[in-house]
Amino acid sequence: MIIPKEPRLSPEQEAELRAVTAEFGITLQTITGDHRTIYAMLGDERQQLMINRLEGLDYIDRVDTIQQPFKLMAKDNALARHRIRINGHAIGQEFTVIAGQCTIDPKNPNFFYETAQAVKEAGADLLRGGVWKPRTSPHSFQGDNRSMEILLEAKARTGLPVVTEAMDAEQVRLALDSGVDIIQVGARNALNYGLLKEIGRQIVGRNTGVLLKRGMHMGQLDEFILAAEYIVAQGNPNVILCPRGTQPTLDGYRNHPDESITVLLKEKTWAPVIVDPSHSVGKAKYVPFACLAAAAYGSDGLIVETHVQPIKGIGDDPKQAITPDVLAQIVRDAKAVHKIHRQYDGHLALAS
C-alpha cells in the first residue's frame, strides 16, 4: 500500500510512481476514497529497494507492507476516514435505516408504492425492494425485470435512494444503468469472488454503494472482511458489511443471529456495519428485539423487511416483514440505543 502525503497526486506524480513500481514487476491499483487516494501494489510489495525508492519520493508519506490477511479494509488503513454518501446521507456517521419489501410483486405494484411511502413516514432513509431473488428452489418466483420499473417509480415518488440485490454481471449493469443507489450482494453470493470483482469493477467512478451480506456458512470474521476487500480492491471503497445470521445451530430462529459480531468487526475494519435482523431471526415478532440488540452492539444501521400488508406479500414478506407502525417504533428506539452504545463505547475506550 502506498500512502501519499497529499490527498491526491498529480498525473505526473502518479506516472512516476507507476514507473518506479513497474521496474520491480508491480502494478498499482488506484483506490479513490472521498478524502484521499491510495495505491495498492499487485505483486511482491516487500522488495526493500523499491520501498526505499518510493519512500524517497517527496510526495509519498509511507509504504505500508503490513502482512495481515486484509489490507484495504484494515482499521488503520488510510481509507478509514472514507464515508459513503448516498443522497446526502453519510453512512457510518448517522444511524441509517433501510426498509421495504423482501420482494417486489410485479402483479401488485401498489403494495410496493404504499410500503415505500409508509417506510419513509416511519423514518427510513433508504428503500429496499427485491427485483431479482435468490431462491432456494428453482421453481420459486425468481423476481422479474419489470419490478425494476416499480422500484424506480417508488424512488421517484418518495425521493428515497434504493437498494436491490444483483446476482450476475448483467443484473449489476441493469441496476447501475437504472440508478440503483446500493447493490446488495446476498448471503448466497458472499463468497462468489467473480461476482464481487465484477461489482467492484462496475462501480468504479460511481457513487454507488455495495451492501455485502455475511454468507450463511462463513466462519472466521476475516473471511467476511476479505470478501469486502475483493470489492474495494477494484477501486471504490463504498462497501457496507451486513451480518444477517449464519447457518442455524438451534431451533427457533431462521438463522443463527450474529448482530453481536458488530463490535468485533469494528475492532478490525473501518467499514460501516448495517445489520439485517429480518433474515437473522426470520420471524416478524422477533425482529424488534434483534434490531435493538444490533443497535446496542454499535451497528451503524439496520435493513429491515417491511410491508404494509405482510400477509399479502411474496418471498419472505408473509413471515418476516414487520409493518410500518412497528418500524416507526424501531427507528425511534434503535436510534436511542445507538446513542447509548456510543456513550458506553466512549466510556470503555477511556477505561481501557
Q: Which residue's Cβ has the minimum distance to ligand PEP?
A: 186
In one-letter notation, the amino acid at residue 237 is P
Q: Which of 26, 31, 99, 102 binds ligand PEP (CB under 6 A)?
A: 102
Choose between 62 and 135: whose C-beta lies nearer to ligand PEP.
135
Task: Name the 3-class secondary structure at 40.
Answer: strand
Which residues, in sequence order, are bridge partners of residue 89? Answer: 86
Residue pair 21/27 in contact (Cβ under 8 Å)? The answer is: yes
In one-letter notation, the amino acid at residue 69 is P
Contact flag: residue 155 with ligand PEP (CB under 6 A)? no
Q: Which of 2, 31, 102, 124 binds Mn ion (CB under 5 A)?
A: 102
Classify the phi-psi angles of 34: left when phi > 0, otherwise alpha if psi is within -120 to 50, otherwise beta. alpha
Residue pair 185/150 in contact (Cβ under 8 Å)? The answer is: no
Q: CB of 316: closest distance to Mn ion in angstroms?
A: 4
Give the residue from 141, 241, 142 showing the smallest Cα distance to 190: 241
Residue pair 36/4 in contact (Cβ under 8 Å)? The answer is: yes
Q: CB of 335: closest distance to ligand PEP in angstroms?
A: 22
Contact flag: residue 254 with ligand PEP (CB under 6 A)? no
Please state, in angstroms and rounded to a whole number, the distance separating the CA atoms of residues 154 and 148.
10
Q: For cell 428452489, what's the residue? A: 137
Q: Which of 36, 82, 155, 244 binds ligand PEP (CB under 6 A)?
A: 244
Q: Which residues contact 125 (CB under 8 A, 6 or more apart)?
A: 89, 94, 96, 97, 98, 160, 161, 301
Contact flag: residue 288 with ligand PEP (CB under 6 A)? no
Residue pair 165/192 in contact (Cβ under 8 Å)? The answer is: no
Contact flag: residue 38 with Mn ion (CB under 5 A)? no
Q: CB of 35: closest distance to Mn ion in angstroms?
A: 34
Residue pair 181/148 in contact (Cβ under 8 Å)? The answer is: no
Choose between 102 and 302: whose C-beta lies nearer to Mn ion.
102
Instruction: Return the one option of ligand PEP, Mn ion, none that residue 125 interacts with (CB less than 5 to 8 A, by type).
Output: none
Contact flag: residue 317 with Mn ion (CB under 5 A)? no
Q: Which of 43, 134, 179, 235 binds ligand PEP (CB under 6 A)?
A: 134
Q: CB of 186: closest distance to ligand PEP in angstroms?
A: 3
Contact flag: residue 316 with Mn ion (CB under 5 A)? yes
Within 39-78, the residues that bind ligand PEP by CB under 6 A are none
Q: Which residues of the shown chain bind ligand PEP in the complex (CB under 6 A)?
A: 102, 130, 134, 186-188, 213, 244, 276, 279, 316
* Residues engaged in binding Mn ion (CB under 5 A): 102, 316
